[in-house]
Structure 1
Amino acid sequence: MRTDDKLPRTEGRPSDLARPRMTRTRRWLLGSTVAVYVATVVGVLTTSWLVQLDWQVMLFRPYKQWPAFHTFLDYFVVMGQRGPTAVAVAAWLGWCCHKQRTMRPLIVLGTSLLLLNMTVGAVKLGLGRLGPHYATTVGSNEMWGNGDIFPSGHTANAVVTWGVLAYLATTPRARRVASVIAAAFAFGVGMTTVYLGTHWVSDVVLGWAAGVLVLLALPWLEPAMGRAEVLLQILYRAVRERRLPVSLPVSRPVAGSGLATPRAARDGELPARETVGVGGRAGGAAGHVPEGRPHHPLRSHPIRPERSAVAPGGSRRPPHADRLSHADRLPRATSPLGAPAGRGRTATGG
């Protein structure tokens, strides 16, 4: 008997109890991040000291100052690339979904990446800033060109992808550890793009702000993600419990259907049936056509005449040598019949 203190594993799971809410601290962090985001965009548009810092770092060329780190950082920057990181984190969150029996982790990841692509992509295409390798005029902000590097997509993606792990953590300790790891990856990927010369410093700063804004806005989307989870569960159960219509076999149609009733009977005409039983006896149970089977006109079959019994008058086959007695057996190489066995052997042997 199950008691109240013995609940199944699916009830009261930690994922249901740890859904973040938009608290006062989060609102304060959200407002501060928005202020940093706006200040960065305004500073670049007005060609302020932030643009001068971008050019100073770019002309310093860190990848030439410390070439020993170039190979390692060239691989490390993949930690902020959307494709590999999304696949790795999705695999881990898929295992969490299986253990917790909920689709929420994958829904949160998909929602955050969708929101990131919409916000960051719109700003990239709208401002059109050129990167350091394609700069044309020293000291300019390189805006309204054909570029797409402001804000840094690698940096924002590193913040969101690894930050989702901290967002979905179920214990305070796990949340702190995941937050430190996510911050390390986000800071390292941002500085790596500056080292490689693919982004300005201001691009990285705006990428950090864009990623943090996505994470801080997720609690507002929790009701929508909850409804999406319920809908996906309903669809999953419907697909899993779907029953396909069973097709009827052709040889056994349902009684009363078009296949079971002859065409003449459906038209009101009943043809005469000629039934021949086994052994030539007409009618009877042997000639009855069972219900529910298609009617086919019966044909008379010729009756095989029964053979008269023949008394055995001896076997027509000659006696086999193996069936003879030992005294009647003949050697394989013998003389003609009637000759003594000894003479035949002598003649043959001579």
Structure 2
Amino acid sequence: MRTEPNLTRLDRLFARLDREPERPAGLEVPRMSPHRIVLFGSTLVFYLLIVVAVINTSWLVRLDWQLMFFRPYQQWPEVHAFIDYYVVLGQRGPTAVMVAAWLGWRSWRQHTLRPLLMLGTSLLLLNVTVGAAKLSMGREGPHYATSIGSNEMWLTGDIFPSGHTANAVVTWGILAYLASTARTRRHLSALSAVVSLGVGLSTVYLGTHWLSDVLLGWAAGLLILLALPWFEPLVTRVEAWILAKLDRYLPGLRGRIPAPAPADGPPLFPQPVPGTEDDVPVREPVGAARSGRTPTHFSTQRYTVRSERSPVTPTGSRRPAHGDSATRTARSTPAHPVAGG
């Protein structure tokens, strides 16, 4: 019969929050495979084609203006309140805090700083690449457009590519990148793709971005995720350096407290020698330190544990003596046998 306790949801939650004894050895680190290199090159070509199409005021710019005049927020006003909240999933501040909290717990549980370091690396690449593209091309948004049909480039804007879209791709895609198994990575990749797609279309609905801004934001975020394996060796060296510093200056943070160095002279708390009487714990009365004399009701001989005692077999019956036992026996036995059947 099984005697395991029935764990509640709260018990399973706290068991999940417990730290693993050591860093898992089977964590799969993505590498720059030929398949990933092909995807990276294809995405980079797509990125450049969008930039060229917008600069040359091609059909993509005309589609931008058509969607702007369509004004989706006026066509479907009933979903405007939901879109206002949903688009927050692409804002860098709230999403970075949520994902950093999750990856911080994973770092603590798995005894590794790689999740947090990879998140920091991806956000740094996002700020540098997307920020540089925004400032260099200076495109104005739909609400600030000056000439109908123009590409609105080289002005004072900073919306090309879409930062909301690129941030959604990177922030939620890093969860799929750091997944422990291939199955989890596939599920999280599909989920992050749906979230980032919704965030990009939400900005088009609200009129804060052109459609071409969203397309370039998707490409910019995907380029960062595909390029992360190139930064894995650097992250590994940084992690080793940080952990070495923690072991040197703050050893308690990693759960390893070094043993104190032996001092000169006899130790303050001598260790008992196994197999001797010193190995047996000494039990002293509570009031011994005050009175200075041993109370008479405490025995001075060494206490023996149960395994050291000689077994004692009781003799006779364990039933207590009964006064009328003989009388009850006499009553129960008939004087003459009963004849017949």
TM (norm. structure 2) is 0.67
Aligned length: 234
1:33-58: CA deviations, max 9, x gaps?
A: 00100000000000000000000000
Q: Retained in 2: the 8 A contact 1:115–1:214?
A: yes
Residue matched to 2:75: 65
Do residues 86 (structure 1) and 96 (structure 2) align? Answer: yes
1:104 equivalent in alignment to 2:106: no
- Which of 147, 153, 168 aligns to 1:137? It is 147
Matched, 1:14 2:18: no
Shift of 1:239: 2.6
Q: Provide closer, same or farther for how the CA distance between residues 104 and 11 of structure 1 changes in structure 2, counting only shifts above 3 A.
A: closer
Counterpart Cα distance in 1 of 2:23 and 2:77:
55
Runs (4 or more) in structure 1 with deviation over 6 Å come to none
Could you say which residue in structure 2 is the equivalent of 1:167? 177
Q: 2:108 & 2:251 partners in 1: Cα distance?
A: 19
Q: 1:238 aligns with which of 239, 244, 248?
A: 248
The residue aligned with 1:188 is 198
Question: Is this contact kept in 2: 1:164–1:215, CA < 8 A?
Answer: yes
Q: Is 1:27 aligned to 2:37, yes or no?
A: yes
Verify the 8 A CA contact 2:23 2:111 in the aligned structure 1. no
* Percentage of identical aligned residues: 61
Q: Distance in 2 between matches of 1:186 and 1:199?
A: 14
Tell me, in whole angstroms, the C-alpha distance in 2 between the residues paired with 1:176 and 1:144.
Answer: 40
Instruction: Please tell me whether the aligned partners of residues 113 and 239 of structure 2 are also in contact (alpha carbons under 8 angstroms).
Output: yes
1:43 aligns with 2:53: yes
Gaps of 5+ in 2: 1-19, 253-341
Deviation at residue 76 of structure 1 after TM alignment: 0.4
Q: Structure 1: where are the runs of 5+ without partners?
A: 1-7, 243-350
The match for 1:213 among 223, 229, 232 is: 223
Q: C-alpha separation between the residues in 1 aligned to 2:102 and 2:251?
A: 27
Amino acid at match of 2:148: V
Report the counterpart of residue 105 of structure 2 in structure 1: 95
| Distance across 2 between alignment mates of 1:63 and 1:28 | 38
Q: CA deviation at 1:241?
A: 3.8
> For residue 25 of structure 2, what is the amino acid of its counterpart?
R
Q: Separation in 2 of the partners of 1:117 and 1:233?
A: 27
- Partner of 1:144, secondary structure, is coil
CA offset digits 1:74-100 (Å, max 9, x no partner) = 010000000000000000000101111
Q: CA RMSD in A?
A: 1.4
Deviation per CA, 1:178-224: give whole Å up to 9, x if none: 10110011000000000000000000000000000000000011100
Judge conservation of contact 1:109–1:164 (CA < 8 Å) in 2: yes
Question: Partner of 1:125 in structure 2?
Answer: 135
1:74 alignment partner, SS class: helix
**1:13 is aligned with what amino acid?**
A
Within 5 Å, give how 1:327-338 maps onto structure 2. Answer: none
1:11, CA displacement in angstroms? 5.0
Determine if the alignment matches structure 1 residue 204 to structure 2 residue 214: yes
Per the TM alignment, residue 162 of structure 1 is displaced from its structure 2 partner at its CA by 0.3
> Which residue is 2:161 aligned to?
151
- Tell me the distance in 1 between the aligned counterparts of 2:213 and 2:249: 45
**1:269-284 matches, cutoff 5 A:** none
Does structure 2 retain, via aligned residues, the 8 Å contact 1:132–1:197? yes
Determine if contact 1:81/1:157 at 8 Å carries over to the other structure.
yes
Instruction: Give CA deviations for 1:287-341 in whole Å, capped at 9, x if unaligned.
Output: xxxxxxxxxxxxxxxxxxxxxxxxxxxxxxxxxxxxxxxxxxxxxxxxxxxxxxx
Corresponding letter in the other structure for 2:245: L
Q: Distance in 2 between matches of 1:241 and 1:135?
A: 58
Q: Which amino acid aligns with 2:155?
A: G
1:11–1:192: structure 2 CA closer, same or farther, 3 Å change rule? closer
Contact 1:13/1:100 (<8 A) preserved: no
